[in-house]
Amino acid sequence: MHLTESITDQAQITALTQEYGVFAIIWYVIVAIALWRVFSKAGYPGILAIIPIVNVFILVKVAGYSAWSALLYLIPIVNIVFGILVALRLGERFGKGGVFSFFLLWLLSAIGYLIIGFGSAQYSERRA
């Protein structure tokens, strides 16, 4: 009896993982398309948005930090603070305010990247 319960539990977990896997792939494709446009506007090759770890390093460079500082994403707690700082700096580079940057570039990043990438926002190295 215990064996069949274990098998059905595993089947339920597998089915759940498959549903989330499809959602994750769709989400990744949306983010990659949006980042492709963001990178292109910033003068970087858009194709780098497709490569999973490289896109984080390029995003940090677009925000104006050294690519090495992307390693801060590996440190717990620090990664949250650094993610907010990258979002704020990225928004500043594209002429967006702090509220836009916090909510749409950090919390709902795919939406923010789509707005920046396909909108009228222009990239500039430094904002006055």
How many Cα atoms sit within 13 Å of 42 on the Cβ side?
A: 30
What would the pLDDT profile of 26-48 be if each residue is shown by its tens digit? 999 999 999 999 999 999 999 99
pLDDT confidence of residue 70: 96
- Site of tokens 């920046």: 116
pTM over 0.75: yes
- Is residue 12 a contact partner of residue 19, using CB atoms and an 8 Å limit? no
